[in-house]
């Protein structure tokens, strides 16, 4: 009798541990899915926010109707920011650089 009870107890314990491991794995799986969905939603919201900011700046620039001097000055201010970007590689062709600098100098000579 005792051997039969011990056997049933061992079986029940093993099944309980099995169920516990299954539930733990399912919980971890669900947590990972929710984390991934949250990351995806955050990326979408960040992109939408950046798009809205770009549209707002674009609209403000066009409403202000800036002249070439202001645009040239803004371009010069943004060059260090562009150059310090991790994904930016700037290839400058000397002919283009001199042409661009000539335009900038022309804009500032008139003021």
pLDDT digits (tens, 9 = 90+) for 18-75: 999 999 999 999 999 999 999 999 999 999 999 999 999 889 888 888 887 787 788 7
Q: Rounded distance, CA 102 to CA 107, Å?
A: 9
Do 11 and 54 lie in one domain? The reply is yes
Helix (H) or strand (E) holding 27, with range, is helix 2-64
In a shared domain, residues 61 and 71: no
Does position 111 have pLDDT exceeding 60, yes or no? Answer: no
Regarding whether 81 and 44 lie in a shared domain, the answer is: no
Q: Provide the whole-model pTM.
A: 0.50
Of 65, 81, 101, the position where a domain reaches its end is: 65
C-alpha to C-alpha distance for 52 and 87, rounded to whole angstroms:
22
pLDDT attached to residue 92: 58
> Nearest Cα to 70, choosing from 102, 107, 109?
107
Same domain? 6 vs 51:
yes
62 sits in which H/E element: helix 2-64
pLDDT by residue (tens digit) across 89-101?
Answer: 656 555 565 666 6
Residue 40 shares a structural domain with residue 71: no
57/76 same-domain check? no
Range of 30's domain? Answer: 1-65
Note the pLDDT of residue 95: 58
Domain count across the chain? 2
């Amino acid at each position: 009798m005792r051997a039969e009870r011990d056997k049933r107890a061992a079986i029940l314990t093993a099944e309980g541990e099995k169920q516990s491991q299954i539930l733990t794995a399912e919980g971890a799986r669900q947590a990972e899915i929710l984390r991934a969905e949250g990351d995806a939603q955050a990326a979408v919201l960040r992109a939408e926010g950046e798009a809205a900011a770009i549209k707002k700046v674009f609209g403000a620039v066009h409403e202000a109707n800036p002249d070439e001097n202001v645009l040239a000055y803004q371009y010069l201010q943004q060059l260090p920011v562009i150059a310090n970007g991790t994904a930016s590689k700037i290839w400058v062709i000397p002919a283009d650089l001199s042409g661009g600098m000539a335009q900038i100098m022309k804009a500032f000579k008139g003021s």
